[in-house]
Amino acid sequence: MAEVELENYSYTHLHYSEWPDRGVPEDVEELRRMLGELMKYDTIVIHCSAGLGRSGVVAALLAIMVQLEINSSISIFGTARKLREHRFGAIQNN
């Protein structure tokens, strides 16, 4: 995690490098910690090298975490569908 200031705007950059392209993270606890850290912010930008699969999964996980804070009912399929409507190819399934 790094604090960065650019043109009078300060932001925090989180870099998670343990999730290989077309693979899965070996240590889910580290991923869980990163998601917990992301939940602290009001506005976030998510991007992986390809900008599709991993980014979509992180966005879906965060959306589900927010839904669970509001109520106990979630729709994993509905969350994935909404993300795919906004970003074609988000959350790869192959």
pLDDT at 93: 65
Q: Is 12 among the domain residues?
A: yes
Query: Containing domain of residue 12, as a range?
Result: 2-86
**Could you list the active site residues?**
48
Q: Residue range 42-56: average pLDDT? A: 80
What global pTM score does this model have? 0.78
Q: Is 91 among the domain residues?
A: no
Q: Check if the beta carbon of residue 50 is closer than 8 Å to that of residue 37.
A: no
Q: Is 15 among the domain residues?
A: yes
Q: Is 17 among the domain residues?
A: yes
pLDDT, tens only, 16-37: 888 888 888 888 898 899 999 9
Q: Is 92 among the domain residues?
A: no
Domain count, the chain: 1
pLDDT of 94 over the 70 cut: no
Q: Is 61 among the domain residues?
A: yes
Q: Is 24 among the domain residues?
A: yes
Q: Is 94 among the domain residues?
A: no
